[in-house]
Structure 1
Amino acid sequence: MRFRSTKVGAIVTAAAMGGVVLSGCGDSSGPQSKGDDAPPSASKGADAQEQGTTKVRAAYDKTAEAGSARTTIRMELSAEGKTIMSDGKGVIDFGRGDSVMTITAQDKSIEQRVVDQVLYQKVSGQKAPGGKPWFKIDLKKAAAQQGLGNQQIGDPAQTAAYAKAITDKDVTKVGTEKIGGSDTTHYKVSVDVSKLPGGEQMSKQLGSTLPMQVWLDDEGRLRRQQIDMTVKAPASATAQPDKSAGPQQLRMSTVMGFSDFGTESDVEAPSAGQVADMTDKALQGSRKQG
């Protein structure tokens, strides 16, 4: 079983690029070996680095083995001197990638579900076209439009490709911390964006590397994950003098937490008659900015 929380990460943060890393690292080939002539102290440090890398890569599969978990998410978006904060909590099914969450942002309460790679949202005090309470966006279609393919939403067959984005030199042990009463080990990770599926396109907006931090419990499961990124507007957008096209740079920090592993998860899509499909409209807006 592979860890497919990418769907939740990409959806909740509304940042497809960041979500890729959430499904990040599963089984892959072992860490790179070191030469036998390396000095003892260097070998010891290298071994510790390799062990950390192995643990981080394995963490996603170990977390997935729990089947499900309660999750929290906090996101901070900053652009043009303005900052928006949002907080959410809910349950995720690691096997299916489905989730149900309640998010609070700008004094609005948002009920959110992800079922079969489709995002559904209901915003308090607002109606979708046709007076329907829910709207939906087909994430697979959105990913294809952005040139990232299905992998962007956590195709488990591509997990090994994600793992290759983290090498033995990319993981640094920070120390130990308690999270929710559990002992955890904190690691900093540098992800090579070019090695991710769709990396060539993603690199244009994210740069060559993506900083990530993870906190693993004594069972090797993910308890917290933090991704900090700066998303740059495409060249075609920045070349336009009209600022209404959108901000040239967006800073985003997303922190996800996991607890109560194995909790019951039952996620269903709203009935079709209650949903307005906003996929094409969302893609049109993306094309205008890009």
Structure 2
Amino acid sequence: MKLARIGPKGQERPAMLDAALQLRDLSGLVDDIDGAALHPDKLARLAALDPQQLPLISAPVRYGPPVARTSKFIAIGLNYRDHAAESGNPVPKEPVMFMKAISAIAGPDDDVPMPRGSTKMDWEIELGIVVGTRARYVEKAGALRHIAGYVLVNDISERFDQIERGGTWDKGKGHDGFGPVGPWLVTPDEVDVGALEMTLDVSGHRRQAGNTGNMIFDVATILSYVSQFVTLEPGDMIATGTPAGVGLGMKPPLYLSVGDEMRLSITGLGEQRQRVVASV
């Protein structure tokens, strides 16, 4: 099942995609796609619907973030060996965990404002986990039961702020619009998270091409690990790391400029397209 939220910012309404990837209106059945709607019983009721019986939503539409009212946006760094190598870092012994600001969450095709004074704005395609049930001190063996679905994430970074301003990575990860998510939340029955192809292009040039099978720490390990430190609530998201090909790893490094366009795709999770614009 593929769920989405469509409409202007702050006015999104819930939708489901049918077999032809046409949008169908869910607003008469659920208030929104949020933590409450992601309970397994509620997802099962939605999965039992015949999408053809729901009102068709005509294009064009704006996709918003597929989950509303997320309380925590957590990310895992250096989770692909090739990315750790290109960044000049050793392969981590434990997941590298950091936070992205909730205000960084954006729709998959929204413009991304370049922060004032930015010199090293970078891209990172990632598989995102969406939590469906409360998870605290979860064992790896049972971790997947807590997942409502998966999303495509662009973990945009300002490397100067992240690396050269001191303290944690959060400074370079939490700028407004630095977390495009979607277009869809895809339930686990439709996704083999161990073998998803990932691609990211910048202004027509392929920069990243990877596969989730190359993650150092898999999805179950990540959710279990994070739950040892943070209680995960329904609707929370975890971005699971990026493969090689980021601007920081190029020789010489290559970063985003105003006017650049990023295009991202993960097998079965849809596509994103963002334009870098000047900060207001």
Q: TM-score, structure 1 length as denominator?
A: 0.26
> Which structure shows the higher strand fraction?
1
Structure richer in helix, relative to its length? 1
TM-score (ref. length: structure 2): 0.27
Q: Highest Rg: 1 or 2?
A: 1
Select the structure with the greater relative contact order (CA < 8 A; seq sep ≥ 6). 2
